[in-house]
Structure formats: structure tokens, C-alpha cells
């Protein structure tokens, strides 16, 4: 089952390049970003995130943020096509152990939009749970807003920050927290093979277990409009029991996840090669 995330086609406007807030670009104090992406720059007056704004990454926080941001995003993309999410949700619910446990989206990183595209997956999979994103401390420190919508700080040069981030995420376990993670660590074309997932993803999953890992492929493609279309395909979720279940500290590795996400991307790109601008009528890939 699939559908576009947009209710109607947005107006045609020239796309504007953006730097990624998830790993690279300044999203506050940046004239271009703060003027054009409502809500991504610092939220004026936020100090300690008053309760009226919701807890960081909570459904309330995302809902308030998207009042301004979602209409803007609709003007930047020709559309968003999702597939595989409903099947993944059914598989997670069918496992009594996984039904209320955290879910980690492991995705390739191909554009500025990726973190917000995974929000679309979250909206379909588990909208009542918090959505948190593991982000580099250097980028997260630039914007209160990214912290407000769930950014969780990690500094690769300071191992203690990983332990702190994982403790922070583990504290949300009972809320069925959903976590976004881009193991490439930086933006690469979606055609890259292997994708280059870093080995740290295994450690993250091992420390968060028991947890469900969901591979997600993201591809943006230009078509017959002057804005890209986003194609997102979720794979088969995998339950990692971990030590809390008394079943040993197991976790899939970076190489296996790299291959799974790469296979999902191959399916998207194969469909695009076969049908071009008519891909929407043939979506999702088999």
C-alpha cells in the first residue's frame, strides 16, 4: 500500500539548495536557511523548552514545528512517495516483544531533507511516539529548534557523549521512542555502492537493544517539475533482543545494513529507470 504524503500538488517554484541540518549545515545564523526554511532556524524565546512547546521530539513539538515548516516543505518537493511502512508496522505489531519497544530507522543520507523525510515514515509507523534523531554535536549546538524536534547530540571525538545520548534515548523506551540514524555520517549520492555505513551503527543498536531496526532507503529524483520528488522505501524490520531479554547482546552489523538499504535503493532506482516520469503510476517497486 502506498500514497503520496501530499494531499495536493504544490506550486511550482525553483528549488533552493540547502545544507543538511543533520550533519553538515548551519541551520541558524545562516541568512539563506533561516529566511527560507520556517522553523529550522532558532525559535525565538525558547529557553529550556516550556511545557507548552512539548518535550523534545514529542508529537506536540513536531506538530507545532510543522505548522510553519510542512507548508514550506510542500513547496520545495514535487511529492513524497512512501512504501513498505504499513507492512513494517504490521510486522512490528505482530511481535509481542517489539510492539512497544524502540524502533531505529537506519537510512542512507542523500539530501538536506532526509531527517524530515524520515518524519514522514514516523507519521505512518508510530505517530504517537517521540521521534529523536542522532546528530553531530557541532551541528545540533547551532539550533535550539533541532533540539526541540528531537535532535540528540553525539560528538565522535568524545566517546562519553555516545553514552549520554544512549542514556537519554533509553529513558524514552517506555514511550516507544523512534530514532533516526544515518550511519554514513555525511551526504552521498543514493547511487553509491557500498553506501559506506560506519561500524558505529552496530554499537548504537547493541546499546539500545532490545530494539527493532528498520532499514529505510531515500532517493530524490528530478522529473517533469523544477523540484525533486522523494521516493522512500522501508524494508523488513528486524528485532534485536539484547541483554534485557536474556538472549545475549546481538546486533546486525554495518555491512549487513549497508547491503539491505542498498538493495532497497536498487529497487527504487530500477523502477525509475524503467518508467521515468511515469514511475508514480507503477509505485511501489516489487
Check: pTM over 0.75? Answer yes or no.
yes
* Assigned C-alpha cell, 263: 538493495
User: Would 135 be classed as within a structural domain?
Assistant: yes
Regarding predicted confidence, which is higher, 11 or 190? 190
- For residue 230, the 8-state DSSP code is E
* pLDDT, tens only, 108-165: 999 999 999 999 999 999 999 999 999 888 888 888 899 999 999 888 778 788 889 9
Q: What is the pLDDT of residue 68?
A: 96
User: Would 225 be classed as within a structural domain?
Assistant: yes
List Cβ neighbours of 119 (8 Å cut-off, separation of 6 or more). 62, 131
17 pLDDT higher than 80 = no
* pLDDT, tens only, 83-104: 999 999 999 999 999 999 999 9
* Rounded to 5°, angle at Cα 45 from 41 and 46: 75
CB 71 within 8 A of CB 7: no
Q: What is the pLDDT of residue 137?
A: 84
45 pLDDT higher than 60 = no
Per-residue pLDDT band for 247 (boundaries 50, 70, 90) equals low
Query: How many separate domains does the chain show?
Result: 1
Mean pLDDT of 24-35: 32
Percent of the chain with pLDDT over 90: 68
User: Would 139 be classed as within a structural domain?
Assistant: yes
User: Would 72 be classed as within a structural domain?
Assistant: yes
CB 138 within 8 A of CB 93: no
User: Would 200 be classed as within a structural domain?
Assistant: yes
How far is 228 from 112, CA to CA, in rounded Å? Answer: 12
Q: What is the pLDDT of residue 49?
A: 60
* pLDDT, tens only, 4-14: 555 434 444 43
Write phi, then psi, for 247 (nearest 5 degrees): -115, 15
How far is 286 from 270, CA to CA, in rounded Å? Answer: 10
User: Would 90 be classed as within a structural domain?
Assistant: yes
User: Would 24 be classed as within a structural domain?
Assistant: no
How far is 181 from 113, CA to CA, in rounded Å? Answer: 14
| Residues spanned by the domain of 184 | 51-282
Q: What is the CATH number of the domain that holds 189?
A: 3.40.1130.10
Bridge partners, residue 239, by sequence: 212
* Assigned C-alpha cell, 11: 506550486
How far is 251 from 219, CA to CA, in rounded Å? Answer: 26
User: Would 255 be classed as within a structural domain?
Assistant: yes
How far is 65 from 43, CA to CA, in rounded Å? Answer: 9
Least confident of 157-161, 208-212, 257-261: 157-161
Amino acid at each position: 500500500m502506498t500514497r503520496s504524503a501530499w494531499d495536493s500538488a504544490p506550486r511550482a517554484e525553483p528549488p533552493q539548495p540547502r545544507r543538511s541540518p543533520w550533519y553538515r549545515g548551519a541551520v541558524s545564523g545562516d541568512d539563506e536557511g533561516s529566511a527560507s526554511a520556517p522553523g529550522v532556524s532558532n525559535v525565538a524565546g525558547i529557553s529550556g523548552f516550556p511545557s507548552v512547546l512539548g518535550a523534545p521530539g514529542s508529537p506536540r513539538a513536531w506538530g507545532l514545528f510543522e505548522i510553519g515548516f510542512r507548508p514550506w516543505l510542500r513547496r520545495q518537493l514535487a511529492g513524497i512517495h512512501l512504501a513498505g511502512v504499513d507492512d513494517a508496522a504490521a510486522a512490528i505489531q505482530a511481535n509481542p516483544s517489539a510492539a512497544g519497544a524502540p524502533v531505529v530507522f537506519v537510512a542512507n543520507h542523500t539530501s538536506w531533507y532526509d531527517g524530515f523525510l524520515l518524519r514522514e515514515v514516523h507519521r505512518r509507523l508510530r505517530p504517537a511516539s517521540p521521534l529523536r534523531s542522532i546528530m553531530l554535536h557541532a551541528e545540533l549546538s547551532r539550533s535550539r529548534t533541532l533540539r526541540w524536534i528531537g535532535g540528540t547530540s553525539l560528538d565522535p571525538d568524545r566517546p562519553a557523549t555516545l553514552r549520554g545520548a544512549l542514556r537519554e534515548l533509553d529513558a524514552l523506551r517506555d514511550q516507544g521512542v523512534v530514532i533516526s540514524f544515518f550511519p554514513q555520517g555525511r551526504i552521498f549520492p543514493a547511487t553509491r555502492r557500498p553506501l559506506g555505513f560506519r561500524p558505529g551503527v552496530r554499537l548504537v543498536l547493541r546499546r539500545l537493544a532490545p530494539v527493532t531496526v528498520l532499514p529505510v532507503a531515500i532517493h530524490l529524483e528530478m522529473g517533469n517539475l523544477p523540484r525533486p520528488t522523494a521516493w522512500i522505501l522501508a524494508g523488513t524490520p528486524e528485532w534485536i533482543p539484547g541483554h534485557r531479554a536474556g538472549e545475549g547482546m546481538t546486533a546486525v552489523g554495518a555491512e549487513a545494513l549497508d547491503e539491505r538499504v542498498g538493495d532497497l535503493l536498487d529497487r527504487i532506482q530500477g523502477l525509475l529507470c524503467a518508467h521515468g516520469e511515469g514511475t508514480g503510476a507503477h509505485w511501489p517497486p516489487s
